[in-house]
A and B are shown apart, each in its own frame.
Chain A
C-alpha cells in the first residue's frame, strides 16, 4: 500500500480553470503538507496542516487553498490557474512526537509521488 498517495499524477489544463489535487495518507500521521517543486528542483512549502492549525506560507497566492475533510486527507484547490502555476506539487505527511516539547517532530517526512500540473 502506498503510504502517501496523490491524484492525479498528471494534470493538463487551460489557464483560468479551477482544479484540485487530492492527497491521502494511511500512516495515521497528524500533520500533512503541500510543497511546490520549481524547475530547478527547489522545494517550497505551501501549507502545513494538522488537527490544530493551518499554517500558510504568505507567499502563496490566495488562489491556492487547502481543504482537509479529515486527518488522512489534505486536498489542494487552485482557482483561476495561471501559467506560472505549472510545476510539480508534492504532498507529504509526518507524525508529531507525543513526548517531549510541544511541537517536536521526529523529522521523518513521507512524500507522495508528486503531481505534475501543466497550465496551457
Chain B
C-alpha cells in the first residue's frame, strides 16, 4: 500500500506560469517531508523540505505547503522555467527530529514539462 501518493504522473505548464505538484500521505506518524527533482539518467536531488511544525516553507521560486489535517502537501514553482522540466518526487519520514537517520518513503513521481 502506497503511503505516499502522487496521483498525477504528468503535468504540463506554460513557461512563466505557476506549477503546482501535489502529494498525499496516509501515515499520520510522518513529520518531515521533502521534494526531490530528477533529471533523466540522474539520481533525485534534494529540492526543499518542510517539518510538520510548519505549514509553509519557501526557497526562491519554490514553496512547499503542508496541510496536516488533509495529509496533503504541494510544491509550487513560480514562475516556471524550462529548466524545471523534470520528474518531482515527494518523500516523507517520521519518528523524531534526528532526520538524518530516518528512512524515507517515496511517492512515484510527477513528470513536469514546462512549455516555452
Given the complex, which residues of B lie within 8 Å of A12, measured CB to CB? Answer: none
List chain B positions with a Cβ less than 8 A from chain A.
9-10, 34, 36, 38, 40-46, 49, 87, 89, 91, 93, 99-101, 103-106, 108-109, 111
Give the number of chain A interface residues (Cβ < 8 Å). Answer: 23
Given the complex, which residues of B lie within 8 Å of A111, measured CB to CB? Answer: 105-106
Given the complex, which residues of B lie within 8 Å of A42, measured CB to CB? Answer: 45-46
Given the complex, which residues of A lie within 8 Å of B103, measured CB to CB? Answer: 37, 88, 113-114, 116
Q: Summarize A's interface: helix, strand, loop or mixed.
A: strand
CA distance A40 to B45 in the complex (A): 11
Give chain A interface residues in 8-46, CB to chain B under 8 Å: 35, 37, 39-45
- Check B100–A41 contact: CB distance below 8 A: yes
Q: Contacting A43 at CB < 8 Å: which of B43, B99, B109?
A: B43
Given the complex, which residues of A lie within 8 Å of B38, measured CB to CB? Answer: 107, 109
A98 close to chain B: CB less than 8 A: no
